[in-house]
Structure formats: structure tokens, C-alpha cells
Structure 1
């Protein structure tokens, strides 16, 4: 997978992790929130995550 140097990522359990570097291989990612109003980092996540099988 080709690393997208614009999207840093340390979640190597993700299917889209570049494996060789700490980057995502997707062209873009979708960020989602867990509350009506996101006020802290902990209330958001990468909605593009898929577990690496």
C-alpha cells in the first residue's frame, strides 16, 4: 500500500495503514463524532477505520 504522507496514522491494526510507515494509504478519511458537539479529541474517531484481517 502506498503511504499518503498527508494523513499520519499510528493504528497499524487498520486495513489502510501503510505498514511501512506511520501513514494511512487512503486518499481521504472520514472523521466521525460520538456526541452532538465535539469538544474534545476523545469524542472523535476515524470513520474510515477497518480492521486488518
Structure 2
């Protein structure tokens, strides 16, 4: 099971993201954050290209 959370600061507009799962080193695969754009979190077993694609959309 994977738990994911994205937050945005109302004052600064900055984004933050966190994820946890049973897979080791999941943080290298699931986070995609772009300043002034947004954040995307994919799930545990995923294609690492999906985060940047989500940001591009």
C-alpha cells in the first residue's frame, strides 16, 4: 500500500510532496514537483516518466 500527500502553501504558493510505501527508495520514482506549476505523485510500481508528463500537462 502506498500513501501520498501533496501540499501547497497558501502564502508562498510553494508545493511539497511526500510518499511512503513498502518499496525501498520509492522517493526516487514517485515525486515530480515544478515551482510555479504544481506537483504529481505516482504510485509504488510506476513508470518514472509519468511524473514529468503529469507536470507537463
Larger strand share, 1 or 2: 2
What TM-score results when the alignment is normalised by the length of structure 1? 0.24
